[in-house]
Amino acid sequence: MDILGYSASGWLPSALYLLLLVFLSLRSKQKIESATFTALIQAAIFVILVIHGVALHDSVFTSQGFVFGFAQDLSLIAWVGLAFYWFQSWFLPIASLRWLVLCFALVCSVLPMIFSGTLISPTAVSDPWFKGHFIVATIAVGLLSLAAMHAILMSVQDRALHRQLAMTPNSRIGHWLEDLPPLMTMESLLFNLLYVGFTLLSLTVFSGLLFSQTLFGKPLVFDHKTIFALISWFLFAGLLVARWRVGLRGRAAVRWVLSAYTALLLAYVGSRFVLEVILQRA
């Protein structure tokens, strides 16, 4: 059975994300999560990640060739972000971030079913260099996307603390903010994401610059994607240097993260969105 040109199984990750979110929303917020409940949720997320990952791989690396677009890019970003959250949640008290990353994964997993992407190359799927570059780039952007969401959450938490935001007792938003880890823990996780994401982004950017002919079959062109990718790299590099030299933190760090991520998003997702949706061409 096909839906919008895709097999019904392509909708399975979205349906599973939705079911998991419904299950979590029906659970009383006043109940403390037991170890068994947490393990069950972690197992469910892992299973959905595997299903989502297989669906993404099959939709990108097809028998016709390498098919890609902004929707596939966002879905991959969400997958990587959720996978990193799942791994970190075994070691850090970040269960309160679960809802955010699951909602993001749900929305992004639907997009490839609506926007099918375009055939970029019929031969790239068999090129190990290109495949390696693509995987590293996807992981880098996914981790930095999670860092951007994390920075927004830190900003909300910081404003709530400084303004002593009055929350209605037992309200969902009140419980959610109360359950967030301390800002110091949140900041530590943010920079863990940034360190790993920046390292992989560096590999992505400079492998693309140095091996453009090998990876993409054409010489390096300083188009808007390349320029925004370099701007993003310099902004993230400046942020980490400032953190190392002067201990940059708080709202200034959050603003810097969001500025760098905006440039990154324009480079890796914005270009495909403009071509496919606005200009409606590959």
The reported pLDDT for the residue numbered 249 is 84
State the amino acid at position 212 in one-letter form. S
| Residue 226, both tokens | 């390349």
Q: Tokens 């079913």 identify what position? A: 113
How far apart, in Å, are the Cα atoms of 22 and each of 14, 17, 48, 80, 111? 12, 9, 15, 22, 20
Q: What are the E-state strand segments in 60-207?
A: 66-68, 118-121
The reported pLDDT for the residue numbered 145 is 86
Contact predicate 282/119, CB 8 Å: yes
Q: What are the E-state strand segments in 34-94?
A: 66-68
The reported pLDDT for the residue numbered 45 is 96
Give the whole-angstrom CA distance, residue 220 versus residue 206. 11
Q: What are phi and psi of 91, to 5 degrees?
A: -115, -20
**Torsion over CA: 266, 208, 79, 189 (sign):** negative
Q: Tokens 């062109």 identify what position? A: 221
| Residue 253, both tokens | 């760090």
The reported pLDDT for the residue numbered 3 is 38
The reported pLDDT for the residue numbered 30 is 55
Q: What is the mean pLDDT of each run of 10 residues along the chain (282 residues)?
A: 46 93 78 83 96 89 81 88 89 80 92 81 73 85 87 83 56 63 83 92 85 64 81 95 88 92 83 57 52
The reported pLDDT for the residue numbered 185 is 81
Q: What's the residue count for the chain?
A: 282
The reported pLDDT for the residue numbered 277 is 56
